[in-house]
Amino acid sequence: MENYELHFTVPSPGGHKTFVDFSPTGRFLVVGEQDSSSLHILDRRAGFHPTLSASTRAKPTAVVWETYATFYVGLSNGEFVHYRIDLGDKKLVEGISNHHFRGAFPITAMAIDVESKRMVLSVGPGIYALRRFRATSESRLSMNWGS
């Protein structure tokens, strides 16, 4: 890895990882755990040790951060779920979930444009653009770039 050198290792919260991703500020690292269908939040202030965790309905397959403490997780069954980090109560709060794409295909990639309130998902052979409405974190399909 050109221009990178090993600085330290991060304690692994489990077995097979499906993703790791830093929050926009770099404080949190979310880890998707395929073996136990769970999420782990590692906090830089705690030496990147697992701080919070939650079980998911299906295997987590993709993640995208909305803010420094909120994110969406795509699942192997086509659903995606909104989560919020609550350090005060020391828990990962599950918010609204979207079942529009539930089926045979997993969500394999996610991107979000916070300013336009638009999220794009890759589900099976299609790419879907959704637009967030109200303050509920619910999303509605606005475009389909499927093949």
Options 2.40.10.480, 2.40.50.140, 3.40.1190.20, 3.40.50.1820; CATH of 17-103: 2.40.10.480
pLDDT computed for residue 139 by the predictor: 58
pLDDT of 77-104, one tens digit each?
A: 999 999 999 999 999 999 988 888 888 8
Q: What's the predicted TM-score (pTM) here?
A: 0.85
Domain locations in the chain as residue ranges: 17-103
Give CA–CA dist 25/17, Å, rounded: 22
Give CA–CA dist 120/68, Å, rounded: 19
pLDDT computed for residue 135 by the predictor: 55
Within the chain, which residues score under 70 in pLDDT? 1, 13-14, 134-147
pLDDT computed for residue 147 by the predictor: 45
DSSP state string for 99-121: -TT-SSS-EEEEEEETTTTEEEE
